[in-house]
């Protein structure tokens, strides 16, 4: 088998999830040279850091890349780039704040950049994905929650304390009848997250008597993924769910444009796999609702980073951002 | 009379208004060393540029500052920093696009930076005003219209085509019954501009029978300024106008915070002179409506740039930004 050429600089990406911690060596093109993982649940955060540092060392040795790693990027929920720590509550086994960057820098002597998954996704799209060459774009991560990563004038926006881009918690009239996990009403997240999509399907099944293959699904089977599959198979009610979600995203994007005049708005994450089911109604609603300055000027794109590894290569891109 | 010491670098500020063009030499502290003006209405934009260039040359000579001017900043309605031109319709005597920066650079051989008044205000506040030393803040200019200037991570945001920060045209539920000049409904401008404030007063006079000194005012006498005077004199209905406007601004700011995590939100322009009448209800509504991450973390300030010259020194700050 011919060996793929590798392009420096090389970085380490760490995707810190509630269940598993995945880490990898990634080259300049976003290619994963090697990867490994271990369960995040450990007796203490110090034990977790020991396991991670040890694993990274062995991976660097195994691939003969000693002295060739320019930095480590860690993507984690509620991670704050300014402090290098996890702040705010998460589904991780350790109470906040978790001083991620200090813990790993002390063990490996390499610069560590930490950010939340949405900001890591934004830098990842610029480094390896559909935002290559762009200086002004917004990434919306649509998953369990909804996050935002904003690049403007070529810079990832972090803000005064690292909390810029919380676009899942901008509120809208279309969601005023939904309560968000943050305690407020009307957040974009209540509609455009995986949970929001399931909620929309449930409401449509309850308030209409349209036939739908979704009606046969159990509570566990009804997910944003199975709703997308039904829509792609021609199920009208399921299509309506994505029409509504896309319309809401378009209305939201219409307002977001007024902040940073983006060249593109990029959907990222599990829900974004619905692709045109979301993008088409989103583009239409954007055109209807945005200020004339932005009409027909913003591209709507789906992340090109490979599904399961998107968060990982996003994290690996942080030292380059 | 003792002469005030002057601090380099020196810049030229030009405030291009529909009626007058005002220009000045300004020092590093925002002190106006010399100023002059002429009517903007001229037979052509070339004649206008000739008069301005000639005036600037003579002013530099008169103050013996030849070779000491680092640049020229022009603040103008619908001016686009990226192209250096006025784009979009304005109340100026020439049809767009007006290639401002080319016109003046060609005549004076000095670097020219052009921006709209809201962005000039933001750079001005950072250079000489209440945002000195801040890297993350939002300026809202409240005048005939409402504009926004966003500084994040130390940079003024311009966006893909120079149209970032159009915060007067973010739409909100509280203004859904008001049509904006842009043709859309619910823009912040319909409530928080001088015209919006007059409209709120008219509506309150129509829908309530509260006594008010405003009821005796003619159409011409009813302005945001006279309403503020009435409120300061204890007029309950006039106070209610500012309570409503401040509440709307607070709700808007609550959403704006999610974009750039600002340290401060600064009110600028004629309407902002109402001061605490606006800031107090604004702060209260912000606390009620914003995401917990931003609560009690954002300062609400009134511009400290001297009223009539604020736009002028804002323009003068552009070469420093």
pLDDT tens-digit series, residues B60-72: 999 999 999 999 9
**CB atoms B261 and A136 under 8 Å:** no
List the single residue in A with minimal CA-CA distance to B174. A173
**Quick one: pLDDT at residue B141?**
94
* Residue of B83, B259, B288, B289 for testing the chain A interface, max A β-carbons within 10 Å: B259
**Quick one: pLDDT at residue A307?**
67
- Tell me how far apart the alpha carbons of residues A160 and B63 are, in angstroms, rounded to a whole number: 40
Is the Cβ–Cβ distance between A38 and A24 less than 8 Å? no
Three-class SS of residue A166? coil
**CB atoms A260 and B167 under 8 Å:** no
**CB atoms B167 and A261 under 8 Å:** no
- Tell me how far apart the alpha carbons of residues B249 and B279 are, in angstroms, rounded to a whole number: 9
DSSP conformation letters of A54-78: HHHHHHHHHTT-TT-EEEEEEE-TT
**Mean pLDDT across A176-195:** 95
**Quick one: pLDDT at residue A173?**
96
**Quick one: pLDDT at residue B16?**
93
**Mean pLDDT across A246-256:** 98
Angle at which helices B100-108 and B45-62 cross, to 10°:
40
**Quick one: pLDDT at residue B98?**
93
Across the interface, which of A159, A166, A260 has its CB nearest the CB of B262?
A159
Structure tokens at A142: 């649509």
- Tell me how far apart the alpha carbons of residues B10 and B70 are, in angstroms, rounded to a whole number: 6
**Quick one: pLDDT at residue A2?**
58
Rounded to the nearest integer, the mean pLDDT of chain A is 94
Alpha-helical regions (H) of chain A: 45-62, 100-108, 117-128, 189-192, 194-207, 224-232, 236-260, 276-289, 310-317
A257 to A190, A224, A265, B160: CA distances (angstroms): 21, 27, 9, 10
List the single residue in A with minimal CA-CA distance to B293. A163
Is the Cβ–Cβ distance between A204 and A241 less than 8 Å? yes
pLDDT band at A5 (very low <50, low <70, confident <90, very high): confident
Is the Cβ–Cβ distance between B282 and B300 less than 8 Å? yes
Q: Nearest to residue A303, comparing CAs of A124, A79, A114?
A: A124
**CB atoms B258 and A170 under 8 Å:** yes
Which pTM value belongs to this model? 0.92
Residue A270 has pLDDT above 90, yes or no: no
Is the Cβ–Cβ distance between B237 and B204 less than 8 Å? yes
Across the interface, which of B152, B166, B291 has its CB nearest the CB of A293?
B166
Residues of chain A neighbouring B262 (CB-CB closer than 8 A): 159-160
**Quick one: pLDDT at residue B2?**
58
- Tell me how far apart the alpha carbons of residues A24 and A29 are, in angstroms, rounded to a whole number: 14
Alpha carbon of A284: minimum distance to chain B alpha carbons (Å): 16
E-only strand ranges, chain B = 10-16, 20-26, 32-39, 69-75, 79-80, 85-86, 112-115, 137-142, 146-152, 155-156, 264-268, 299-302
**Quick one: pLDDT at residue B66?**
93
Across the interface, which of A135, A150, A291 has its CB nearest the CB of B166?
A291
Residue A275 has pLDDT above 70, yes or no: yes
* Residue of A259, A265, A297, A301 for testing the chain B interface, max B β-carbons within 10 Å: A259
> Can you list the residues of chain B whose pLDDT is less than 50?
none
DSSP conformation letters of A73-112: EEE-TTEETTTTEE-S--SSSSPSPB-HHHHHHHHH-S-E
Quote the ipTM score. Answer: 0.92
Alpha carbon of A226: minimum distance to chain B alpha carbons (Å): 32
Residues of chain B neighbouring A155 (CB-CB closer than 8 A): 152-153, 155
Across the interface, which of B136, B164, B173 has its CB nearest the CB of A259?
B164
- Tell me how far apart the alpha carbons of residues A47 and A26 are, in angstroms, rounded to a whole number: 25
Residues of chain A neighbouring B90 (CB-CB closer than 8 A): none
């Amino acid at each position: 088998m011919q060996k793929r050429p590798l392009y420096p600089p090389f970085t380490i990406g760490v995707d810190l999830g509630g269940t598993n911690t995945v880490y990898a060596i990634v080259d300049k093109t976003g290619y994963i040279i090697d990867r490994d993982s271990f369960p995040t649940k450990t007796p203490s955060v110090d034990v977790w850091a020991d396991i991670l540092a040890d694993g990274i060392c062995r991976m660097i040795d195994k691939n003969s890349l000693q002295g060739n790693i320019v930095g480590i990027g860690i993507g984690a929920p509620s991670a704050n780039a300014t402090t290098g720590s996890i702040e705010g509550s998460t589904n991780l086994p350790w109470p906040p704040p978790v001083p991620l960057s200090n813990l790993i820098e002390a063990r490996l002597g390499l610069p560590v950049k930490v950010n939340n998954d949405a900001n890591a996704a934004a830098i990842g799209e610029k480094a390896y994905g559909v935002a290559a060459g762009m200086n002004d774009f917004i990434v919306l991560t649509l998953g369990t929650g909804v996050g935002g990563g904003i690049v403007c004038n070529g810079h990832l926006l972090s803000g005064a304390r690292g909390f810029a881009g919380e676009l899942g918690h901008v509120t809208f009239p279309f969601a005023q009848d939904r309560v968000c996990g943050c305690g407020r009403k009307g957040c974009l997240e209540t509609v455009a997250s995986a949970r929001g999509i399931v909620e929309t399907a449930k409401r449509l099944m309850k308030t209409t008597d349209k036939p739908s293959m979704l009606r046969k699904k159990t509570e566990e089977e009804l997910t944003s993924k199975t709703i997308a599959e039904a829509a792609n198979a021609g199920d009208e009610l399921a299509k309506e769910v994505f029409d509504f979600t896309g319309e809401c995203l378009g209305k939201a994007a219409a307002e977001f444009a007024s902040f940073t005049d983006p060249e593109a708005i990029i959907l990222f994450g599990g829900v974004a796999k619905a692709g045109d089911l979301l993008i088409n109604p989103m583009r239409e609603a954007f055109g209807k609702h945005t200020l004339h300055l932005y009409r027909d000027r913003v591209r709507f794109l789906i992340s090109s980073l490979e599904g399961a590894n998107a968060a990982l290569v996003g994290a690996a891109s942080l030292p380059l951002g």
